[in-house]
Amino acid sequence: YCDFPILALGSSSTETADDDPRISNYIHLLIREIEATQTHFEQHPPLETVFFGGGTPSLVPPRLVAKVLDTLRSKFRLCLDAEISMEMDPGTFDAQKLKDLMGLGVNRVSL
């Protein structure tokens, strides 16, 4: 088993991944990239699949996942039955986070 390297937030801190500015900054830049890409695809069919992968996207707080999905929905229409998939490390989510993600439309997970 090979785990990903992580940077601890600090044991004496109340900081969580929800507060980590690196995650917020990354999501902000991702949204800018989505917006920039959309201009190259003025005529496009609705998206059938959205895949959050390539690392541990389950570390991203649901409120920020919502921002990405909202941007995709506004810039690239999503099919009503679109597959929204997320890679998840079992150590990075709990039942509430899974419920929150499902409420956003995540309908497939890969562990």
Flag whether 92 is in a domain.
Answer: yes
The interaxial angle of helices 62-75 and 95-104, nearest 10 deg, is 10
**Model pLDDT for residues 41-100, shown as the tens digit of each residue:** 777 888 999 999 987 899 999 999 999 999 999 998 899 999 999 999 998 899 999 999
Flag whether 1 is in a domain.
Answer: no
In which domain, by residue range, is 41 found?
A: 17-110
- 8 A C-beta contact, residue 69 and residue 105: yes
C-alpha–C-alpha distance, residues 98 and 1, integer Å: 24
Torsion sign, CA atoms 33, 34, 39, 41: positive
| CB neighbourhood size of 43 (10 A) | 4
Report pTM. Answer: 0.83
Count of structural domains within the chain? 1
CATH for 52:
3.40.50
Flag whether 8 is in a domain.
Answer: no
Helix or strand (DSSP H, E) at 15 = none
